[in-house]
Structure 1
Amino acid sequence: MLLTKLKTKAAHLIRGESAEEQAHNFLINQGLKPVNRNFRCKQGELDLIMTDKQTLVIIEVRFRKTDKYGSAAESITPAKQSRIIAATHVYLSTQKTDRPIRFDVVAISGNGGINWIQNAFPA
């Protein structure tokens, strides 16, 4: 039973890492520049931090195998948005920047489709 749970969790983490890598490469091809990945703090995690010209972009990557229980983009609840914003405040407290900030979402579906939502939610 424990081994099955570990295998399932490991598979989930591998899919998540793969989705983040796919999103990272997609955004680089769109002209964004990488700054940081997987910034973790007590408030949460920031998947990707990039710049788009002069704007600092905080990107949440979501993967859903199917839309049976809602799309990947729909899985970002107001509570999740609050955690991302709180983690962003912590990240910014460690940086010297006066760039404008934007929150984007990259939603990846099981069929390989990528939906990049710029300005997905306000700060």
Structure 2
Amino acid sequence: MSLSPRQKAGREAEQQALEHLRAQGLSLLAQNWLCKRGELDLVMLEGDTVVFVEVRYRLHAQWGGALASIDARKREKLVMAAQYFLIKEARWAQHPCRFDVVALEGTGTQATRLNWIRNAFDS
């Protein structure tokens, strides 16, 4: 199965985000974790905290850019997928959790701008 150019760009952005987070000391628990509730791009561990990371890539910031592309419906899907992950991967269920977003913008295999937002869903 070959990926569309859009899917390929998304996978490259995920890889760039993963490398950045690993360089910051996080370790990978799961990547592209699928369930009936949706998909979790990256599930990382920082200390004892399980970090659910949504990776968003946009070519440019027009129309709000990568971060603005996460609406209430998307947040709800991510929360439900994370809850399902914690049920299926029960060893992580008692750990503190948070939702981060890595927003990438730019062109080519390395986005020109990477913005890591911790606790992105906290108001």
TM-score by length of 2: 0.89
Deviation at 1:117, TM superposition (A): 0.1
Matched with 1:118 is 118
The 1-side partners of 2:62 and 2:46 are apart by: 33
Identity %: 39
Mapped pair 1:82 → 2:76 = yes
Look up the SS of the partner of 2:60 in the other structure: coil
Matched with 2:41 is 47
Specify the structure having the higher radius of gyration (Cα). Answer: 1
Deviation at 1:29, TM superposition (A): 0.3
Deviation at 1:84, TM superposition (A): 0.2
Unaligned stretches of 5+ residues in structure 2 = none
Unaligned stretches of 5+ residues in structure 1 = 1-6
Look up the SS of the partner of 2:65 in the other structure: coil
Deviation at 1:55, TM superposition (A): 0.2
Deviation at 1:70, TM superposition (A): 1.1
Matched with 2:100 is 104
The 2-side partners of 1:117 and 1:26 are apart by: 13
Look up the SS of the partner of 1:108 in the other structure: strand
Q: What is the total number of aligned residue pairs between the two structures?
A: 115
Deviation at 1:31, TM superposition (A): 0.6
Specify the code of the residue in structure 1 equivalent to 2:118.
Q
Specify the code of the residue in structure 2 equivalent to 1:107.
A
What's the CA shift string for 1:49-74, capped at 9, x where partnerless?
A: 00011100000000010111112011
Matched with 1:63 is 57
The 1-side partners of 2:114 and 2:75 are apart by: 20
Matched with 2:27 is 33
Specify the code of the residue in structure 2 equivalent to 1:62.
R
What's the CA shift string for 1:67-122, capped at 9, x where partnerless?
A: 11112011110110000000011111111221000000000011521000000014
Deviation at 1:41, TM superposition (A): 1.1
Specify the code of the residue in structure 1 equivalent to 2:35.
C
Look up the SS of the partner of 2:112 in the other structure: coil
The 1-side partners of 2:13 and 2:5 are apart by: 12
Matched with 1:94 is 88
